[in-house]
Amino acid sequence: MSSQTLIFIILAGITALLLALFQYIYKSNKRKLNIVLACFRFITLFAVLLLLINPKFEQTTIYNEKPKLVVAIDNSESIKHLSQEQNVDDLVSSIKNDQALNDFFDVNYYSFGGNLNTNDSLSFAESQTNISKVFSDLNQIYKDQKTPIVLISDGNQTYGNDYQYNTKITKQPVFSVILGDTITYSDLKIQQLNVNKYAYLKNKFPVEVIVVYNGNNAVTSQLVISSGNSVVFRETLNFSNTTKAHTVNITLPASRVGVTAYNARILPLDNEKNIINNAKPFAVEVIDQKTSVAIVSDMVHPDLGAIKKSIESNEQRSVEIVSPNEYLTQYEDFQLAILYQPSPNFRSVFETLTLSGINALIITGTETHWPFLNGIQNDFEIDYTQQNEYYLPELNTNYSTFIVDDLNFGSFSPLQGDFGSLSFNQPVASLLYKRINNTILDEPLLVTFEDNNRRTAALFGEGIWKWRAQSYLNEQSFQQFDNFIGKLVQYLASNKKRNRLNVNYESFYSGNGDVKIDAQFFNKNYEFDDQARLSMTLKDVESLEETILPFVLKQFNYELDLSGFKAGTYDFTVSANGGEVVRFGQLKILDYNIEQQFLNADVDKLQFVGAQSNGSSYFINYTDALIPDLLSDSRFVIVQKSSKNVVPLIDIKFLLALIALSLALEWFVRKYNGLI
C-alpha cells in the first residue's frame, strides 16, 4: 500500500469522525445514546470513504508444485503379437497405485502408435508405430519443464525418423521399459521389398527382395514369388553365420493391363517361431500408356529441375527438358508441353501446338518476351510495363475443375513476375490468386481454361522451385507439392469431358498404410456442392458382403477412410444424392501387417535411448527398481512457490455487509428511542 493511500485513509477516518461527532455530539443532550449512534455513523461513513479510496492489499499464497512424470505406453499391435499386454497392464497399474510416486509426481499418461494420444484405454490395435514423433510431441508439450519420461515399448518402429537420435531433441531423461522376448531365435524374414508401383504393358518390371537371416547355423531355404496359384519365380538361398542376408534382383513380365497381386515368400525353417514375417505381398498396376511431358525452354533456371522432379515422382510420367527446335522434331512423342518463359524462339512451337491440339502449361517470368506472347496467342494478354513485382499465392477455395489441397500456400515465397494488368478473352478458372502483402488482387497467379477441347494453364511468375523446398520444410516430404503438380499435369494431359463427380483413389493400397478416398461433387454449373450426400457401397469380391459408408466433408472435398478394412479386392460404387450421379471402380487392399514382423524387442535402441538421455532402462520382468529410482533422483524435486495477488478493497464483500449492518443498527436504535 502506498504512502499516499495511507494518508487518504487517515483523512477519511478523521473526516468520518468529525461528521459523526458533529451530527450526534455537538449541541446534543443525550450523551450516552448519541455516543452509540455516533459510533454507528462513524463506521458507515468511514467504510463508504474507504470504498471510494479503494486501497489495494497484497495476498500471498504459498503452494507446492510437484514435478511432472510422463508415462508413454506403446499401444501398437506388436505388443499383442509379442504377448506383452498383461505385462503392460500390470506395470501401469503398479504406477497408478503407488501412493508415494503419485504424492511426489504429477503423473500424465499417454499412449502411442502412429501418433501420441492421451491415454483413455489400451487396445493394442495401432497398425503403425512412430516413436520419434512421441519424443518430438512431448518436447513441445513439456519444453520448459524437467519431465522424466517412462517409455513402455518393445522399441520396434515401423516408420518415421530413427528415434534413438531424437532423444537429443527432447532434453528429457528417458526411463525405457523393454517389452518382449530378448532370446535370439533362428529366423528368416523378408526385410524389404522394392518394386515400382506401375509397369507398362509388354515390358518387364524389376523387383528387389532383401532376405535376412537371424541365427548361427548354416541353413537353406527358397525364395518363391507367386501370383495367384502360379509360381513366377523360385530361387534357393543359403545362409550361415557369415552370410546373413541376400539381395535378390529379378524382372517379371507385365503381360496384361490392370492390377496384378504377387506374394514374395521365403520358406520357413523347421523350428522357426515367427513365420508371419516370411511373406510380403505386393502389387503392380500395368498400364498401356505413359504420359510424356516436354518442358520447352531456351534458358537455364532452377524451376526446370523442380518441375521435372515433381512430375517424375509419379512413375506413370516421364519428362524431357528440350529447346524449342528440339521439341519441333519430336512433338508427337509428348502429350503435354510446358512452355517456360516463351520468347520469339517459340513461334513455331505455338503454331505446332495449335495445329496438333496438344495441351500446354505456360509459365511466365522476368525473362518472358511479352510483346511476342501477347501476339502469338489470343487467350490472355498483359498491359506490359517493363517492371517486375513479387506475388504471393492465395488459394481460390471455390476452384472446382479438379480437387486441390491447401499446401499452406501462405507460407510459400512470392513468385516474381511482370507488373501489369491481365485480361482474358475467354472464361477461366483461377486456381491461385495474386496477393501483395495482405491485399488479394482480382487477378490470377495460376489459371486453367478450356477452348475447343484443348486445355491450357498459365502460371504468371517464376521461382516455383522455392515452393517445393518450402513444402518439404513444412511436411518433411515433397509428396504434397508433387501431388499438387501431378493433379495439374493429369488435368492438362487429358482431354476427357469434365465429370460432376470425381473420385480420387489408388488401384491398390498397402495393408499397413492409410486407405483414404477423396471425391468432389459439382452442381450443374460445375460449382462445388458442399451440401451433397455422398456414399460408397463397398462389395467384397470374395465374400460378396456389402457395406455402405458415407463420405465426410473435409474443407473442399469429401473423404472416406477405409483403413480399418480387411485385406481383399473390393468393387465399389460412389453415389451422390441418392443416385443423381454414380461412379464405379475397384480397389485392392494388400494383406500385410508390419507390426507382426517383429520377433524380439529392439533392446539396443531402448538401452541407447536410456543412456543417451541420462535416464535408464529396465526389462519388463525387472522393473522393481523403476519407482525407487524415480523417487530418489535428485533432479526431480517438489518446488515451493508463492503467488502474490493484489486484491482491491471493493472486492471484499464483508465491508458492504458492515455498512448495511451499521446503518440498520443506527436506524433501529433511533426508532426504538423515538428519534424517528
**C-alpha 144 chain-centroid distance:** 24
User: Does pLDDT of 601 surpass 70?
Assistant: yes
82 and 119 in a common domain: yes
- The answer to whether position 642 is within a domain reads no
622 and 661 in a common domain: no
Domain count, the chain: 5
| Strand pairing category for 116-118 and 106-112 | antiparallel
654 and 628 in a common domain: no
Please list, in sequence order, all residues whose beta carbon lies within 8 angstroms of the beta carbon of residue 541, skipping any fewer than 6 positions away.
Answer: 568, 569, 570, 571, 586
Looking at residue 520, its pLDDT comes to: 86
Longest dimension (CA), the chain: 127
Domain span at residue 278 reads 187-287
pLDDT in tens, 519-535: 988 876 666 788 889 99
- The answer to whether position 229 is within a domain reads yes
**C-alpha 568 chain-centroid distance:** 28
* Amino acid in the structure at residue 19: L
Q: Show the beta-strand stretches assigned E in 376-531.
A: 380-382, 388-395, 415-418, 422-424, 429-436, 439-451, 454-460, 501-504, 508-509, 516-521
Q: Are 262 and 290 in contact (CB under 8 A)?
A: no
264 and 228 in a common domain: yes
127 and 161 in a common domain: yes
Task: Take residue 49 and report the three cell numbers written for it.
Answer: 470513504
- The answer to whether position 485 is within a domain reads yes
Residue 446: band (very low, low, confident or very high) from pLDDT cuts 50, 70, 90:
very high
pLDDT in tens, 133-181: 899 888 888 887 888 999 999 888 887 788 877 666 677 899 999 998 7
d(CA 130, CA 137): 11
Task: Take residue 253 and report the three cell numbers written for it.
Answer: 513380365
Q: Which helix (H) or strand (E) holds 209?
A: strand 204-214
351 and 486 in a common domain: yes
351 and 273 in a common domain: no
Please list, in sequence order, all residues whose beta carbon lies within 8 angstroms of the beta carbon of residue 198, skipping any fewer than 6 positions away.
Answer: 284, 285, 286, 287, 315, 316
480 and 351 in a common domain: yes
Looking at residue 665, its pLDDT comes to: 86
Q: Show the beta-strand stretches assigned E in 267-356.
A: 279-287, 291-296, 317-322, 336-340
Task: Take residue 368 and report the three cell numbers written for it.
Answer: 518472358
462 and 344 in a common domain: yes
358 and 325 in a common domain: yes
Q: What is the mean pLDDT of the chain?
A: 86
Q: Exposed/middle/buried for 309, CB within 10 Å: 0-12, 13-18, 19+?
A: middle
CATH of the domain at 112: 3.40.50.410
- The answer to whether position 116 is within a domain reads yes
pLDDT in tens, 626-647: 999 999 998 888 887 777 777 6
d(CA 586, CA 541): 10
* Residue finishing a domain among 243, 259, 287: 287
User: Does pLDDT of 654 surpass 90?
Assistant: no
Residue 458: band (very low, low, confident or very high) from pLDDT cuts 50, 70, 90:
very high
Q: Exposed/middle/buried for 374, CB within 10 Å: 0-12, 13-18, 19+?
A: middle
* Residue finishing a domain among 256, 287, 318: 287
- The answer to whether position 360 is within a domain reads yes
pLDDT over 90 for what percent of the chain? 35
170 and 108 in a common domain: yes
450 and 312 in a common domain: yes
CATH of the domain at 236: 2.60.40.10
Number of alpha helices (DSSP H) and beta strands (DSSP E) in the chain: 16, 36
- The answer to whether position 256 is within a domain reads yes
User: Does pLDDT of 295 surpass 90?
Assistant: yes
* Residue finishing a domain among 562, 594, 626: 594
Sequence-distant contacts of 27-33: CB under 8 A, at least 24 apart: 33/669, 33/673
- Nearest Cα neighbor of 670 from 113, 24, 14 is 24
